[in-house]
Amino acid sequence: MIKNLYEPEAHYLPLAIRDIPPLNDKEYVEQYYGDHQVQPYCLPPVRHTQKRVVYWVVEYEPLLDSSDMTFDDWIRIAKDIRKSYHEYDGFVVLHGTDTLAYTASALSFMMENLGKPVVLTGAQIPVAEVRSDGRENLIGALIVAANFDIPEVTVYFNNKLLRGNRCTKLDNSGLAAFDSPNMNPLASMDISINIKYESIFRSGNISHFRVQDNLCRNVSILRIFPSISIECVSFTFLY
């Protein structure tokens, strides 16, 4: 952290969560994966679920501040998921909060015929801090991705699972940073895990999963407000 701001640090997260008991059951990993050259991580047993959640962490190089991400980074994430699509039950993308909603929305339209959960999450306070929402957000995202049939790109934050292309960041300083205006969460983590299956989108065909990476980059947003002049609108489209 510099000047009271957080910055990405290579290899920080994989090393940190290795030693955080709620994120990694070391005894289980050693018992069942001790002979693996690259050992996974494993959540402790989770109440109301049937599976042990075993997961691997892939860290990008270089690590980016999310405010520096571009179309090319969205394409990279989508292609990496496609590459490993048949090897895992679900995917969790750890992302900075500044542009997390943009990435979630982009991936939701790029991933066609998606049949597995893709959950984006992040943190207002990093996982290794004494006070951190990062641990709970990561645990919740892993539980959703591993246990539930939710074949959408979603955002998990502050005990809520939100549709990826319907959420936005509303608060820079609070832990409930994301919400979906005019749409209820797809799931909530309360004492019980409540999934609203009737709200979950499911593909109407059985076509193979594919990634649409031919993206138009010449798109802008014109916000209309009372008394906007014709000249302003014309300037936007002509120049």
Q: What is the pLDDT of residues 104-127, one digit of tens each?
A: 999 999 999 999 999 999 999 988
- As a whole number of angstroms, the distance between CA 196 and CA 188 comes to 9
Nearest to 164 by CA among 216, 116, 212, 121: 121
Q: Report yes or no on 3 lying in a domain.
A: no
What's the number of domains the chain is made of?
Answer: 1
Peptide bond into 181 cis (omega under 30): no
pTM (predicted TM-score): 0.92
Query: Phi, psi (5° rounding) for residue 61?
Result: -130, 130
CA-based torsion, 97, 99, 101, 105: positive or negative: negative
Nearest to 209 by CA among 170, 160, 163, 152: 152
What does the pLDDT average to over 15-22?
Answer: 95
Q: Does the pLDDT value for residue 3 go beyond 70?
A: no
Residues labelled as active-site residues: 97
Q: Report yes or no on 5 lying in a domain.
A: no
Q: Report yes or no on 7 lying in a domain.
A: no
Q: Which residues, 6+ apart, have CB-to-CB distance to 92 below 8 Å?
A: 55, 119, 120, 121, 138, 141, 142, 145
- Do 65 and 114 form a contact (C-beta atoms < 8 A)? no
Structure tokens at 4: 């009271």
80 is in an annotated binding site: no
Nearest to 155 by CA among 109, 122, 115: 122
Q: Report yes or no on 146 lying in a domain.
A: yes
171 is in an annotated binding site: no
The range of the structural domain enclosing residue 170 comes to 12-238
Per-residue pLDDT tens over the stretch 177-231: 999 999 999 999 999 999 999 999 987 777 899 999 999 988 888 888 999 998 8
Q: Report yes or no on 223 lying in a domain.
A: yes
Q: Report yes or no on 2 lying in a domain.
A: no
Q: Which residues, 6+ apart, have CB-to-CB distance to 39 below 8 Å?
A: 29, 33
CA-based torsion, 78, 140, 146, 44: positive or negative: positive
65 is in an annotated binding site: no
Q: Which residues, 6+ apart, have CB-to-CB distance to 56 below 8 Å?
A: 38, 40, 41
Q: Report yes or no on 30 lying in a domain.
A: yes
CATH number where 172 lies: 3.40.50.1170
